[in-house]
């Protein structure tokens, strides 16, 4: 292939890759398998490697910059980015509409009744504002809002967002405004990875999106699958193209769609406060059902010329207002800060708050994540703080109101608290990115304190609580208070002692009724026969989460001579088999990285764990290993997503049935999903499945499949 032929092939590949990208990331309409997309990208990059002089900045291969920036560059906005005024109820909405109408009446008579009355109502995305500038159809800059006049140049990260076109279909000049957001499903994936790597979890999608877009290394942004909704045009010069300049806000949304941007389809043209209120109430009920955050409506005068004529106040445009949903943030006082110890020994600070209602629940505690977060916030005991809670996410402190300090506030000593909780020495461990080779990357992620003595009572209790939990051995009736009683009475020291507990020992404990004792003994007896995957998860091995345990159980069940075909193992035999696997052998399993391999190897080379598992063997605990597919694999290889509330099964029970039948569990719906098992309040996953043509089934159909 000569250079001319390569140019033609590169142009065709670029056009096709862009078409498939837009179909998947903008239109939610996947038109090719990932393998096809990857093959086209591979051919494109190979050609560009052979002819580097043909590489253009708008090539799909150039989305991720090769070298991190040293610092952010400031960028002046060509058009000031105003903040919107807020209204919070129907009375305030009516007042805003009346005021706007009075301003309209003061204008001359060039506007019709329709122009004066139409309002465009859009859902307000709770994300991060971004300003995109295109010249002759090519992306030249992407900037944050900043103070409205000057923002930060984050073009290197904007280019990694697949819903943002690098080149528009027509060579127009355009300044467009939108919102960057992260899907809840993506947050679940990120937090799952962080949990398995014993890292603090992120509290909400907005903070992650904001933090991601301000990364100096574009590879971080590329890994997090950010998305966008564009909703405004500051300026447009269509030149000699077929695109028409928009006359209304409704036109703006259509023009943006034609230009290849992702535009939220949820909007409504209204002409009265009652219409707006009905739309508002509809979306208040569904605010947490979407894959993106919503914190209200944005109401705009639909006619752009009229909106421009109305002008601005000192802070906001007169032609638009934000109708905010009920607050999911509020203020309270930090009455104290305690620490709690996790099963791996990590010490986490928790703020004890003056009880306050937020998002329809009473909140009295909020996570502070780690010492770095306390220092970043500057929070002290006695401070008045802003807390936020979205959906079912654990509340967190987002701001300290330092102007309300009295001088009596106290600094929290994290190290002293950690030492007291651990009963002695602690270690501070930095957590960074890690590859399959087990090496820590240079990019520091966080630092946390750990108890040096892994036999600290608090760690033992957390391990026992994890072991008996529903996702572990599922031993009902053994809550933290009961475990404390058993430890105080010297009846248990580790999980191996649980299976030797006797009815007479339990009934002798304070406030232990006969029926409760009988139920606990029965639950312990039932748990003595358990799948190897649940047992492995219950052991609480660092970095081994639920799905990783399932992966390991299945993979090792296929190794000839290790477990054999569908046999019963004692915990002691299981220990010996796992002890024989080297770190290098662990990382050969697809999905097992260096951290997980190290955690497994370390756990199965500690003599106290061997003693504990041997004791379980003597107590009659047996592990069921499912090896070959056999007749049980009715769902072999099928990918399921479970969402909503099912009539009789919990989500965990449904997932367990899927795994037993050879199926796979995914967190989010994609073109690779075979079935969406949906119950009541299925939310955005149902809509996405229907849009992708994924088969949606209910519990009855699912049980019939088994």
The rounded distance, in Å, linking the Cα atoms of 543 and 607 is: 20
- Write down the catalytic residue from 12, 74, 114, 124: 124
The rounded distance, in Å, linking the Cα atoms of 582 and 578 is: 9
The rounded distance, in Å, linking the Cα atoms of 386 and 491 is: 44
Q: Determine whether 700 is an active site residue.
A: no
Angle at 423 between CA 422 and CA 425, to 5 degrees: 70
Q: Name residue, tokens 């962080």.
A: 194
Per DSSP, helices labelled H in 440-539 are 457-468, 480-488, 503-507, 514-526, 532-538
The rounded distance, in Å, linking the Cα atoms of 683 and 704 is: 24
DSSP bridge pairs for 410:
381
Q: Name residue, tokens 């009934």.
A: 507
The rounded distance, in Å, linking the Cα atoms of 232 and 120 is: 12
Q: Supply the angle between the helices 273-284 and 90-105 in degrees, to the nearest 10.
A: 140
The rounded distance, in Å, linking the Cα atoms of 440 and 443 is: 8
Count Cα atoms within 13 angstroms, Cβ side, for 501.
34
E strands, 359-498, where? 361-367, 384-388, 396-400, 426-434, 440-451
Sequence-ordered list of residues with C-beta below 8 angstroms from that of 627, at least 6 positions apart, any chain = 557, 558, 563, 564, 565, 566, 567
The rounded distance, in Å, linking the Cα atoms of 112 and 110 is: 7
Long-range contacts (CB closer than 8 Å, 24 or more residues apart) made by 608-611? 608/494, 609/539, 609/575, 610/572, 610/575, 610/579, 611/496
3-class SS string, 204-233 = CHHHHHHHHHCCCCHHHHHHCCCEEEEEEE
The rounded distance, in Å, linking the Cα atoms of 169 and 625 is: 56
Structure-token pair, residue 194:
């962080």
Torsional sign, CA 661, 667, 673, 675: positive
Query: b or e along 572-589 (b: 16 or more beta carbons within 10 Å of the residue's beta carbon)?
Result: bbbbebbeebeeeebbeb
Rounded to a whole number, what is the distance in angstroms from the first to the last CA of the chain? 54
The rounded distance, in Å, linking the Cα atoms of 370 and 447 is: 7
Beta carbons of 528 and 646 less than 8 angstroms apart: no
Overall residue count recorded for the chain in this entry? 706
Sequence-ordered list of residues with C-beta below 8 angstroms from that of 93, at least 6 positions apart, any chain = 87, 273, 276, 277, 299, 321, 323
Active site residues: 124
């Amino acid at each position: 292939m000569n250079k001319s032929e390569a140019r033609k092939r590169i142009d065709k590949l670029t056009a096709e890759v862009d078409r498939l990208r837009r179909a998947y990331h903008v239109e939610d309409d996947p038109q090719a398998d990932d393998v096809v997309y990857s093959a086209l990208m591979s051919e494109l990059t190979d050609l560009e490697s052979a002819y580097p002089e043909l590489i253009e900045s708008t090539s799909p291969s150039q989305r991720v910059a090769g070298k991190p920036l040293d610092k952010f560059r400031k960028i002046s906005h060509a058009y000031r980015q105003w903040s919107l005024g807020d209204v919070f109820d129907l009375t305030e909405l009516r007042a805003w509409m009346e005021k706007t109408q009075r301003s309209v009446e003061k204008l001359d008579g060039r506007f019709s009744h329709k122009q004066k009355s139409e309002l465009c109502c859009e859902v307000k995305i709770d994300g991060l504002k971004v300003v995109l500038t295109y010249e002759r159809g090519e992306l030249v800059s992407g900037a944050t809002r900043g103070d409205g006049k000057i923002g930060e140049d984050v073009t290197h990260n904007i280019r990694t967002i697949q819903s943002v076109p690098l080149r528009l279909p027509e060579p127009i000049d355009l300044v467009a405004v939108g919102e960057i957001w992260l899907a809840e499903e993506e947050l679940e994936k990120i937090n799952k990875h962080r949990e398995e790597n014993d890292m603090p979890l992120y509290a909400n999608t907005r903070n992650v999106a904001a933090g991601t877009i301000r990364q100096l290394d574009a590879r971080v942004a590329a890994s997090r699958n950010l998305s966008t909704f564009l909703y405004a045009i500051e300026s447009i010069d269509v030149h000699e193209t077929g695109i028409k300049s928009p006359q209304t806000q409704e036109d703006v949304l259509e023009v943006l769609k034609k230009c290849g941007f992702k535009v939220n389809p949820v909007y409504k043209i209204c002409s009265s406060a009652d219409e707006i209120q009905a739309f508002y109430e509809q979306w208040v009920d569904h605010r947490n059902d979407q894959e993106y955050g919503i914190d209200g409506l944005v109401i705009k005068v639909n006619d752009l010329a009229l909106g421009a004529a109305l002008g601005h106040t000192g802070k906001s445009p007169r032609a638009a207002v934000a109708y905010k949903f009920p607050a999911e943030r509020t203020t309270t006082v930090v009455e104290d800060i305690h620490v709690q110890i996790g099963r791996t020994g990590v010490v986490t600070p928790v703020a004890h708050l003056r009880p306050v209602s937020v998002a329809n629940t009473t909140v009295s505690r909020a996570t502070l994540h780690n010492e770095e977060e306390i220092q970043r916030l500057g929070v002290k005991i006695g401070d008045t703080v802003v807390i936020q809670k979205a959906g079912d996410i654990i509340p967190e402190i987002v701001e300290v109101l330092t102007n309300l300090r009295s001088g009596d506030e106290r600094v929290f000593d994290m190290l002293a608290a950690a030492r007291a909780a651990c009963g002695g020495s602690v270690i501070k461990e930095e957590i960074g990115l890690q590859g399959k080779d087990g090496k820590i990357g240079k990019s520091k992620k966080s630092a946390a304190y750990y108890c040096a003595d892994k036999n600290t009572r608090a760690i033992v209790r957390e391990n026992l609580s994890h072991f008996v939990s529903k996702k572990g051995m599922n031993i009902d009736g053994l809550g933290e208070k009961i475990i404390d009683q058993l430890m105080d009475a010297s009846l248990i020291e580790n999980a191996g002692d649980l299976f030797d507990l006797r009815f007479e020992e339990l009934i002798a404990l304070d406030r232990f009724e006969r029926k409760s004792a009988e139920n606990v003994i029965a639950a312990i007896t039932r748990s003595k026969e358990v799948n190897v995957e649940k047992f492995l998860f219950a052991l609480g091995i660092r970095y081994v989460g639920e799905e990783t345990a399932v992966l390991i159980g299945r993979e090792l069940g296929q190794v000839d001579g290790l477990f054999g075909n569908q046999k019963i193992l004692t915990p002691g035999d299981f220990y010996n088999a796992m002890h024989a696997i080297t770190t290098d052998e662990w990382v050969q399993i697809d999905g097992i990285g260096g951290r997980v391999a190290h955690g497994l190897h370390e756990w199965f080379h500690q003599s106290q764990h061997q003693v504990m598992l041997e004791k379980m063997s003597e107590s009659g605990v047996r592990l069921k290993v499912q090896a070959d597919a056999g007749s049980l694999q009715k769902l072999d290889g099928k990918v399921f997503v479970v969402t909503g509330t099912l009539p009789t099964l919990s989500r965990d029970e449904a997932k367990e049935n899927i795994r037993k039948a050879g199926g796979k569990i995914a967190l989010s719906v994609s073109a690779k999903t075979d079935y969406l098992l949906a119950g009541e309040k299925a939310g955005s996953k149902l809509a996405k499945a229907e849009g992708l043509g994924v088969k949606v089934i209910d519990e009855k159909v699912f049980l019939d499949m088994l």
